[in-house]
Structure 1
């Protein structure tokens, strides 16, 4: 049996209460980690614009999951707020202790988002949550690290379409920025021992595909199926584990070969 070395570690999963985030929270808890399940504090999207995300933003879902998982807590923050990083890490430290693993999973996506329909406000919302918030959380985590403690690690959740995502310009380019952030911070923080990696999911069934769409999308995947949230969670756990101790600056595609 492989020992991931994650038992007793403090893991913060942003957007950790639904979909891929819930699977990640459950996977770390199964390794004996103490999980802080983050949820969005309130609703800020303007009415009339469709949106989707990899997370369930409601406090009730986060509290319910945290109650179910041993040693877990739920924490709230609006990641678009300028002080979200410090406030969120303060909340986790107060309840569980210093963060050992940061998973930047929370994502904002809305439509319309094609090149002819972009707005400054929409782009800003995408970038604030998908790129700026992870950058500030990584920065704050690094500032709090003390050399006498084992170095923390970071896993960002990107998308395998970050290279080019037509029809989802704000979302796709903000995730491309997250990929660049992963590599840059891995280089900056390498001397401190802090590892930074990313998982890039392919199409994952989190309830947004009906049977017909799932069959259509499966035909585009070399392994001939869409992903499940647990597929992504397993990749995240690996990158946070001791087995990945010499891995940093990588964007791991967990996508069934979708973007090859």
Structure 2
């Protein structure tokens, strides 16, 4: 019996989050799932999370008929990619897909941004994404079919006042995606990025949602499954000729 392909998804702490939605969509496509989470960060954020959410996601995925493993992982640590892949190889020989979904985001601007806060954004959004991608590529042992999918936020489509550190570090993911795609094509790995646009993951209050609705031609805000379905396509065999692209799954959002 043919074994399922394996997908790694970082930053899947919350059941309402994009990471969890990506895990579900990849499970629908028949991937076994290895996901990471970091409860300390999400508990500090306004949306919060419950301790049992990662286990609930794992149980949900297994009920869908795939294997699922998870680990709590602090992506600010230099050795986090090695720890992840060492843990993964105890379950599977290798992975076929890496989705760099984890992100660090706090509100700040030129008047209050500190060195420490900028560093925290850099460590998760840029360093971890880069090093995780490198570790995946070095360990990829097939002739083709490898997929790296980064999550970006459309920084080059318009400014993000009040999110200076986030916009700066997430914007660099576009450059990483384009250059890394050229380097890894010979190894049979595609590299793309997905911009989900404003997505309701539990952070939108009624006032925010009302303001955003006016800027979506379809009359609704983004759902987590919108971007997750695009990730599922990019992870598929049908997407083998797509690489080095930043794809915008944001329903025609007007800036």
List runs of 5+ in structure 2 lacking aligned partners.
none
Q: Report deviation, 1:58.
A: 6.5
Say which SS state the counterpart of residue 95 (structure 1) adopts: coil
Partner of 2:53: 61
In the alignment, what sits opposite 1:160?
154
Does the 8 Å contact 1:39/1:58 carry over to 2? no
Q: In structure 2, what is the equivalent of residue 22 of structure 1? A: 20
Counterpart of 1:4 in structure 2 is none
Q: Deviations over 1:188-212 (max 9, x none)?
A: 1111111000100111011111223
Matches within 5 A, 1:1-260: 8-18=4-14, 19-40=17-38, 43=40, 51=45, 60-70=52-62, 71-111=67-107, 113-146=108-141, 148-163=142-157, 164-258=159-253
Give the alignment's TM-score, normalised by structure 2.
0.89
Structure 1: runs of 5+ lacking an equivalent: 1-6
Pairwise CA RMSD: 2.2
Per-residue displacement from partner, 1:81-101 (whole Å, max 9, x unpaired)? 000011111111212331110
Q: Quick check: 72-81 or 88-97, which moved more?
A: 88-97
Distance 1:154 1:235 in 2: 13
Alpha-carbon deviations, 1:5-62, whole Å to 9, x = none? xx8110110012321001001111111110012112x6369x9xx7468xx7776321
Q: CA deviation at 1:161?
A: 3.3
Q: Deviations over 1:109-163 (max 9, x none)?
A: 012x1111110000000011011101000111111122x4544210001112355
Distance 1:62 1:96 in 2: 20
TM-score, normalised to structure 1's length?
A: 0.88
Q: Which runs of 4+ in 1 moved over 6 A?
A: none
Number of residue equivalences: 246
